[in-house]
């Protein structure tokens, strides 16, 4: 049995940044450190940080007054930030800069008296935070069926936005149906789509043509990891989402000559290596990389367009978890090179 290993795969820059912000805060301020919602959607990462003294909460009412709290990579609404300020919480915003960019687009469009359509997953932390920036102006569309029936105001300009972790493929049919019904709908900016998500799906498509079975390493609440399984299944390849090597069923491998392996954008590479080791124990004798060409949007070639220095700073102005972006793309996954100041 051969392992075909996807490249690119695994942790994106926004996830890496958010986790490092938590780690820097722990080193500087010590535990307990409160984080609103899971910092990223990976069970192992959350468990590791919890063991170091991080307390994950669903809402701020679980955080003691004047405590230190981190907002997750998926972003929060202005109401959450206002509550933190009212209660004297020391807040660090670990929102992915790409998500923060979408938040700014929401505010700019509302100022211009435009109505917004947000394509995304209902209840996803990112979607909840984005809608919270202008609930009166945003209509959430989750599927093609929604797009066929949704009622939108026709007297004002319409602008479409997307959940950043959906790929171009994920949104294409929905956008097409919306444009059919609302021809003047403005398309979302290409650089609002997370290139890490798109590139990982492209790698999954290429790999699906060459494998008998697909394994995606990622947690059940990671939407992009679950989507990688669907990418394979849509091409006739059986796939499973696994958290780690302990979830591999040897029966899955019977009669399999080539198994494809990839991971979601919140999955640490160490987990992938553990899965590789387990597959070798179960009979894998060789491994080959399946590399795909990045489809980096031109906007990522000058990441300063995102005005990234605005994002990730402590609400009290302290530089303890400040961040910025370099101008160059990472050669493998085009997520951007992140530097940290502390």
Give catalytic residue positions. Answer: 126
Q: Helices (DSSP H) in the chain: which residue ranges?
A: 13-29, 43-51, 78-86, 97-111, 125-131, 144-149, 168-181, 195-208, 223-233, 269-281
Structure-derived torsion over alpha carbons of residues 204, 205, 209, 215, reported in degrees to the nearest 10: 30
- Could you give the C-alpha distances from 278 to 200, 212, 253, in angstroms and in order? 23, 18, 12
> Token pair for residue 265?
């954008």
d(CA 303, CA 217): 29
- Please give the C-alpha separations between residue 146 and each of 74, 82, 110, 175, 187, in angstroms, as whole numbers: 24, 32, 23, 11, 17
CA distance 328 to 110: 32
Kindly give, in sequence order, each residue whose CB lies less than 8 Å from that of residue 136, ignoring residues fewer than 6 positions away: none
φ, ψ for residue 171, nearest 5 deg:
-100, -10
Q: Is 339 helix (H, G, I), strand (E, B) or coil?
A: strand
Q: What are the residues whose beta carbons fall under 8 Å from the beta carbon of 3, sequence distance 6 or more?
A: 258, 259, 260, 261, 276, 279, 284, 286, 287, 288
- Tokens 């906007």 sit at which residue? 299
Q: CB of 206 within 8 A of CB of 182? A: no
Beta bridge partners of 241: 216
């Amino acid at each position: 049995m051969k392992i075909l290993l996807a490249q690119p795969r695994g942790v994106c820059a926004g996830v890496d940044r958010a986790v490092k912000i938590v780690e820097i805060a722990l080193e500087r301020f010590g535990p307990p450190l409160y984080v609103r919602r899971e910092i990223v959607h990976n069970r192992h990462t959350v468990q590791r940080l919890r063991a170091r003294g991080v307390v994950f909460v669903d809402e701020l009412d679980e955080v003691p007054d004047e405590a230190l709290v981190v907002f997750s990579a998926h972003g929060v609404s202005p109401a959450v930030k206002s509550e933190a300020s009212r209660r004297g919480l020391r807040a660090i915003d670990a929102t992915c800069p790409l998500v923060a960019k979408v938040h700014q687009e929401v505010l700019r469009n509302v100022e211009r008296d435009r109505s917004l359509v947000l394509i995304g997953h209902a209840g996803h932390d990112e979607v909840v935070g984005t809608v919270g920036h202008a609930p009166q102006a945003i209509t959430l569309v989750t599927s093609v069926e929604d797009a066929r029936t949704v009622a939108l105001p026709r007297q004002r300009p319409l602008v479409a936005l997307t959940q950043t972790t959906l790929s171009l493929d994920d949104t294409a049919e929905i956008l097409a149906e919306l444009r059919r019904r609302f021809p003047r709908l403005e398309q979302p900016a290409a650089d609002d789509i997370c290139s890490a998500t798109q590139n990982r799906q492209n790698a999954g498509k290429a790999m699906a043509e060459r494998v008998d079975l697909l394994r995606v390493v990622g947690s059940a609440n990671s939407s992009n990891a679950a989507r990688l399984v669907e990418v394979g299944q849509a091409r006739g390849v059986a796939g499973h989402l696994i958290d780690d090597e302990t979830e591999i069923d040897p029966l899955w491998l019977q009669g399999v000559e080539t198994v494809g392996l990839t991971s979601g954008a919140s999955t640490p590479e160490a987990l992938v290596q553990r899965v590789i080791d387990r597959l070798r124990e179960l009979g894998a004798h060789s491994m080959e990389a399946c590399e795909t060409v990045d489809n980096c949007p031109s906007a990522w070639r000058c990441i300063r367009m995102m005005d990234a220095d605005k994002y990730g700073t402590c609400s009290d102005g302290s530089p303890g978890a400040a961040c910025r972006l370099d101008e160059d793309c990472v050669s493998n996954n085009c997520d951007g090179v992140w530097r940290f100041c502390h």
